[in-house]
A and B are shown apart, each in its own frame.
Chain A
């Protein structure tokens, strides 16, 4: 299975919104509502911020939201804050013998 495709970078000014795409196929993102998103600061452990496309774990600010259309999932960070500057990875169930796949990752910069 191939990695899900994400833009290498995205940026926005404080208070603005930024949206990150995660493009797969009908065998993974498009076939199931099983997309999750992870935030990772440099040298730190990834942290779950979205699961099942648009659900937020307890403690994750509602500035983070997820959606999906066809084979593309999206993560939107609204009201950007400096602490949102990090790498973001999507992940999806990929069917077929319980495969899992990650996205290529997107570095978000707060200008």
Chain B
């Protein structure tokens, strides 16, 4: 049964770069897309973007200029970088497995436990 384990810095100062990594355990890595989602305190979910094993990415247009999602297939890991963070980027960040295809039916059926990221001076 697949498990996602995520890690990264939880406290950042404004203008720094957020960096998170998600490791995939117990499942085929190449068969899926892998997604990042975030949830600001008391608010709803927001799609950030996703990547597949070959490095094909899709990004939320509202974040695209600051977001980079990368993959290390040999380690079965994918990572999120968000540059120039502000207080508005404070959120719980989740990684998730995408079943289906981003260009068709797709849904997140396995989630990481989430990482709380706080941006504060």
User: What is the CB-to-nearest-CB distance from A23 to chain B, in angstroms, rounded to a whole number?
Assistant: 15
Total number of A residues with any Cβ neighbor in B under 8 Å: 26
Query: Beta-carbon contacts of B88-116 to A below 8 Å, as 1s and 0s?
Result: 00000010000110111111110111100
Can you identify 15 A-B contacts, CB atoms within 8 angstroms? A3-B44, A48-B108, A51-B100, A51-B105, A51-B109, A52-B105, A91-B47, A93-B103, A97-B58, A99-B58, A100-B58, A100-B60, A101-B47, A102-B44, A105-B45
A residues whose Cβ falls under 8 Å from a Cβ of B: 1, 3, 32-34, 36, 38, 45-48, 51-52, 57, 89, 91, 93, 97-105
* B26 proximal to A (CB < 8 A): no
Choice from A45, A48, A105 contacting B107 with Cβ under 8 Å: A48
Q: Which residues of chain A have C-beta atoms less than 8 A from B105's C-beta?
A: 32-34, 51-52, 93
- Asked if B94 and A46 make an inter-chain contact with CB atoms under 8 angstroms apart, the answer reads yes
Interface string of B6-47 (1 = CB under 8 A from A): 000000000000000000000000000001010000001111
B interface residue numbers (CB < 8 A to A): 35, 37, 44-47, 58, 60-61, 94, 99-100, 102-109, 111-114
Contact B104 A100 (CB under 8 A): no
CA distance A36 to B46 in the complex (A): 14
Contacts of B100 in A (CB 8 A): 34, 51
Q: How far is the CB of A45 from chain B (nearest CB, A)?
A: 5
Q: Which residue of A lies closest to B108 (CB)?
A: A48
In the assembly, what is the distance between CA of A17 and CA of B61, in Å? 37
- Chain B residue numbers with a CB within 8 Å of A102 are 37, 44-47
